[in-house]
Structure 1
Amino acid sequence: MPENLSSPRLRVLFAGSPDVAVPTLRALAERHDVVAVLTRPPARRRRRGSDEPSPVAVAARELGLQVLEWPTLRTPEARAAVEELDVDVAVVVAYGVLVPAALLEVPRLGWVNLHFSLLPAYRGAAPVQWAVRNGDELTGATVFRLETGMDTGPVIGAMTEVVRPRDTSGELLARLSVAGAPFVLRCLDALAAGTAVLAEQPTDGVSLAPRILPADARVPWTAPALAVDRFVRSMTPAPGAWTELGGVRVKLGPVLPAWATRRGGPPEVPEGLEPGEIAVTRTGVWVGTGGGAVELGDVAPAGKSWMRASDWARGARLEPGARFDWSAAGSGPEVSG
């Protein structure tokens, strides 16, 4: 789908909220007339602090764009306001607010959504987290026209992205958000020119990617080492993997299975560790899983900053046989290697 620099400038309504939506907003503002930006209202984004505007709201104001921070679009006033904007198309990237059916037909070219998976795989709020957790080697992004179903609309185009072996969900999502911005422009060019071929999503290959809450990010130490590695990377940076030691929560950064490549040569790997059991060796801090062991990277004990696992272990004064609790961990589909 080559870029058409001679395509007309469209009147665009943009809807998005988090950081990953900002690249598309900036790309649209360079090529088209973004007449208004819909985003989530200000909210508390840190444990201690006041309500803050969304990253999209901040970027939109820097660009001098009109910002509409509405909690819902299900009001007569919202419909009237959108109709008055007289836009050609609405572009959605991780907006977080349901678009009611009454608004879908208002823009001439409809509502176009950038979704970070190869639909129909991973319909839902957390496609990238689930792709990393499941060990996918290839993912991508899909541009499709919104309809009333969840991520079920006809596809305008799709792009692929390789999942690197040590990707966290944050790293993969950042790449997709940057690559997806110019791809949205190309899809809009095709829509405006009348050359876009909208394809219905196949019925085979449908999977869901439900939202992952902090309670879901507890590390399942009974899973094999490979699955634990993927699980922790999928929860990084959000909502953040965690476990408990003696009833006290400990946050975990990415871990390394014993076979993973390291600087400094092969590690000293303890044998026979039970799931969740901690062992400190000359080369690192290890935790047993349901199959093999993983080496801890950075950790953040409750109320403290991130630190190297070796520094944490010295300060924690671990007793022999100390063990992370793994009860009720890893909710959702079964975690396997």
Structure 2
Amino acid sequence: MKKTLAFALGGALSLPAFAAAAGELNLICSADVVICEKLVSEFQASHPDTKVNMVRLSSGEAYAKVRAEGRNPQTDLWWGGTGDPHLQAAADELTAPYESPLLADQQDWSKKQAEISGNRTIGVYTGALGWGYNTKIFADKGLKEPACWADLLDPSLKGEIQLADPNSSGTAYTALATLVQLMGEDQAFDYLKKLNANVSQYTKSGSAPVKAAARGETGMGIVFLHDAVSQTVEGFPIKPMTPCEGTGYEVGSMSIIEGAQNPDEAKAFYDWVLTPEAQNLMPESGSFQIPSNKNATPSENVPDLSTVKLIDYDFAKYGSSETRKALLARWDAEVGGAATE
């Protein structure tokens, strides 16, 4: 039986609750836990009067928590994770409009995220979708390097691929939306149903598949390119790749929650994390996304997106509630359901 992780956005959720207190910030972080902890410690060092209560949740989990708390928000700020669920939260008016004084210093793709959402969210980093494969496993098993989306359907890769569940993972939802935009919806779901034969596990976290590949537990993981790069930098035999047909990308985002109990602290963190000084902390924590502030210094390990064939990803459409719900429902019915059979 293939392992899959069920995640019902509309069902009962067992998610952490925050306690409200003066001088505190209740933060959801949807990036890798290492950068989450780094940002929290550095912010508290420069803002000693503010205690940060942080919980790490995948993008889909974060959106579900924010939605569940809609009438009584316990969260003040949501940082990181793919932009699509942030845009959905903005469309649902679960997040609050805020225009930072540092908006002018951000890259155009960051400003566009703010514009699309009516300033209810903003881009904080970006990175392309791809995969990382374990070169040792592939060499030992005589497997061919996968250069294109089509290559992932090769029967020799049966049981060698992991990717996340798009209900819980923003990475996997980006992959789903990317394939739909590349192929058309029906063709994309036909592809995903065929790919399912080669998938050993649908994980909850978007970066988990390539970490499993780094540990030798699977041959490859479909992830954001920077997550594969981080494993390479750590010394694992992971080779990052982007597909020849083209690929999508994320705009990792940040949102203040509508009705936040600590709005001043939320705005303070929001402004601070948009500074080049804060964004320069990311490579120190093994995070190699492209930062949003034009004056930040990207690591030499940050993937060069000028060499990647990127699609014109429609964030407004695929971040909308209607499109997102429809695609996830179809994935559950046609792909996720088949994974448990």
Larger radius of gyration: 1
- What TM-score, normalized by structure 2, do the two folds share? 0.22
